Amino acid sequence: MTKLTYITKTGTTIASVFDDLAQLRITVFRAFPYLYEGSIDYEKEYLKVYAESENSFLFAVYDGSTMVGATTCIPLVDETPEVQEPFVNAGVNLKNVFYFGESILLPAYRGLGLGHRFFDEREAHARSFDTCKITSFCSVVRPDNHPLKPADYQPLDKFWAKKGYQKEPSLKSKFEWLDIGEKHSTQKEMIYWIKQLS
What distances in angstroms separate CA 27 from CA 31, 90, 104, 148, 176, one per listed residue? 8, 34, 9, 16, 18
The overall average pLDDT reported for the chain is 96
pLDDT in tens, 87-110: 999 999 999 999 999 999 999 999
Which of these CATH numbers, 3.40.630.30, 3.40.50.300, 3.40.50.1000, 2.60.120.380, describes 4-196? Answer: 3.40.630.30
Can you give the pLDDT at residue 2?
64
Burial classification of residue 45, based on how many CB atoms lie within 10 Å of its CB (0-12 exposed, 13-18 middle, 19 or more buried): exposed
pLDDT at 42: 87
Q: φ and ψ at 3, to 5 degrees?
A: -65, 130
Report the pLDDT value the prediction gives residue 187, as an integer from 0 to 100. 95
Q: Is the model's pTM score more than 0.85?
A: yes
In the chain, where the domains are located: 4-196
Give the percent of the chain with pLDDT over 90: 94
Q: Do residues 59 and 14 make contact, with C-beta atoms less than 8 angstroms apart?
A: no
Task: Kindly report the three-state secondary structure assignment for every residue of the chain.
Answer: CCCEEEEEEEHHHHHHHHHHHHHHHHHHCCCCCCCECCCHHHHHHHHHHHHCCCCCEEEEEEECCEEEEEEEEEEHHHCCHHHHHHHHHCCCCHHHEEEEEEEEECHHHCCCCHHHHHHHHHHHHHHCCCCCCEEEEEEECCCCCCCCCCCCCCCCHHHHHHCCCEEEEEEEEEEEECECCCCCCEEEEEEEEEEECC
Q: Which residues contact 74 (CB under 8 A, 6 or more apart)?
A: 49, 50, 53, 55, 56, 57, 98, 99, 101
Whether the pLDDT of residue 1 is over 60: the answer is no
- Spatial contact of 80 and 52, defined as CB atoms under 8 Å apart: no
Q: What are the tens digits of pLDDT across the range 56-99?
A: 999 999 999 999 999 999 999 999 999 999 999 999 999 999 99
Backbone φ and ψ of 157, nearest 5°: -55, -45
